[in-house]
């Protein structure tokens, strides 16, 4: 955890949500117990503001590089709710058989709801908005669209989660701007429809970030999926399917800026105030205002971090001379 927090801070991230993967109940609870001792504590790097419960309510065929999702029992879900004080957000696929009951419990415990890793229909996405879902994870990735659903829905052609995300004003979303997941025109489309106030940048980075190219494990180290890093992005063993990202937030800022041509301050907000607002944390972080945490990143002319402060404390390991 601490090494990951330092790595993210190296790329300008001052706060993050520790994010789970699809995993067995045992692995998930072990992760949550570890995270419990780190939330809003000094990590030596980026501050862990909470946990994003990512899985187990994924649609199996849309799981991407995640381990096969296990179906949790009602008792195990109730045990998850015991961790509600550190659970900031949870992702579900609306078509999952337990999605609605899980959503009801999350809302009751103040956990924000996302949709993701789903092949749902537009109608199912609308229904989930009625449950309280307000955000969609990594736009374009691991989600249904008109083309994917056409064989199931015949005619007239109908939308899926992608179209619902673009169409429904209640929903914010995010992009992985690592230069590998999405092309510049897709970043432009996302900005045109959802930006600037409902579009955030995410790294989607896994444990291979800042490490040499080679083989890694996505998910629990003892029971995860073997993936490969080519130094630019994570890939499945076939070398074709994507398996998470390995670039930091500063890289995403540069990519989104180049793709959209928008003013730099607006792009910076997609990595600061907008995600803080989506997570319900904008009263603490996301902008430099009286009463908020003193988090600051000094960027050089190439938009690479030179110095980083978290909670008013500079991280000495990250100081470098501009241009190096």
Host domain of residue 125? 2-292
pLDDT tens for residues 18-45? Answer: 999 888 899 999 999 999 999 999 999 9
User: Which pLDDT band holds residue 139 (cuts at 50, 70, 90)?
Assistant: very high
pLDDT tens for residues 101-132? Answer: 999 999 999 999 999 999 999 999 999 999 99
- pLDDT score, position 239: 86
Rounded to whole angstroms, the Cα distance separating 118 from 115 reads 7
pLDDT surpassing 70 at residue 91: yes
Residues in the chain: 324
What percent of the chain lies above the pLDDT cut of 70? 98
Q: Alpha carbon of 133 to those of 128, 179, 282, 301, 314: distances in Å?
A: 6, 28, 19, 39, 37
Q: Is 306 part of a structural domain of the chain?
A: no
pLDDT tens for residues 269-287? Answer: 999 999 999 999 999 999 9
Q: Is 309 part of a structural domain of the chain?
A: no
Q: Is 319 part of a structural domain of the chain?
A: no
Strand-by-strand arrangement of the 233-235 sheet = 214-218, 225-229, 233-235, 242-245
Residue in 40, 6, 134, 26 with CA at minimum distance from that of residue 76: 26
- Number of domains making up the chain: 1
Q: Is 80 part of a structural domain of the chain?
A: yes
Structure-token match 């291979």, residue found: 208
Q: Is 15 part of a structural domain of the chain?
A: yes
User: Which pLDDT band holds residue 320 (cuts at 50, 70, 90)?
Assistant: low
Q: Are 131 and 114 in contact (CB under 8 A)?
A: no
Least confident of 100-114, 169-183, 305-319: 305-319
User: Which pLDDT band holds residue 321 (cuts at 50, 70, 90)?
Assistant: low
Q: Is 224 part of a structural domain of the chain?
A: yes
Torsion of CA 203, 207, 1, 78, to 10 degrees: 80
pLDDT surpassing 70 at residue 324: no
- pLDDT score, position 22: 87
Provide mean pLDDT across the span 63-67. 83
Q: Is 299 part of a structural domain of the chain?
A: no
Query: What is the CATH classification number for the domain harbouring 104?
Result: 3.20.20.140
Provide mean pLDDT across the span 174-193. 98
pLDDT, averaged across the chain: 94
CA 194 to chain centre: 17
Q: Is 314 part of a structural domain of the chain?
A: no
């Amino acid at each position: 955890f601490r090494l990951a927090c330092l790595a993210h801070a190296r790329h300008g991230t001052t706060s993050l949500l520790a994010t789970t993967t699809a995993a067995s109940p045992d692995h998930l609870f072990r992760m949550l117990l570890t995270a419990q001792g780190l939330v809003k504590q000094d990590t030596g790097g980026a501050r862990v503001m909470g946990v994003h419960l990512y899985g187990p309510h994924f649609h199996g065929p849309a799981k991407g590089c995640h381990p096969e999702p296990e179906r949790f029992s009602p008792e195990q879900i109730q045990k998850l709710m015991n961790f509600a004080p550190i659970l900031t957000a949870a992702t579900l696929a609306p078509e999952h058989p337990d999605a609605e009951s899980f959503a009801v419990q999350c809302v009751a415990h103040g956990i924000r709801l996302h949709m993701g890793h789903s092949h749902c229909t537009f109608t199912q996405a609308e229904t989930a908005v009625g449950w309280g879902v307000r955000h969609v994870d990594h736009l374009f990735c691991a989600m249904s669209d008109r083309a994917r659903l056409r064989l199931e829905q015949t005619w007239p052609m109908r939308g899926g989660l992608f179209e619902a995300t673009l169409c429904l004003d209640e929903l914010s979303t995010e992009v992985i701007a690592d230069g590998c997941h999405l092309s510049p025109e897709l970043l432009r489309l996302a900005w045109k429809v959802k930006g600037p106030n409902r579009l955030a940048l995410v790294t989607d980075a896994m444990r291979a970030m800042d490490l040499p190219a080679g083989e890694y494990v996505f998910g629990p180290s003892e029971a995860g999926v073997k993936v490969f890093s080519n130094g630019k992005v994570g890939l499945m063993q076939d070398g074709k399917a994507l398996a998470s990202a390995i670039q930091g937030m500063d890289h995403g800022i540069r990519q989104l800026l180049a793709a959209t041509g928008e003013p730099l301050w607006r792009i910076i907000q997609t990595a600061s105030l907008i995600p803080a607002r989506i997570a319900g944390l904008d009263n603490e972080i996301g902008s430099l205002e009286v009463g908020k945490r003193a988090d600051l990143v000094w960027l050089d002319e190439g938009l690479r971090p030179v110095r980083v402060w978290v909670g008013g404390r500079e991280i000495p390991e990250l100081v470098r001379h501009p241009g190096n």
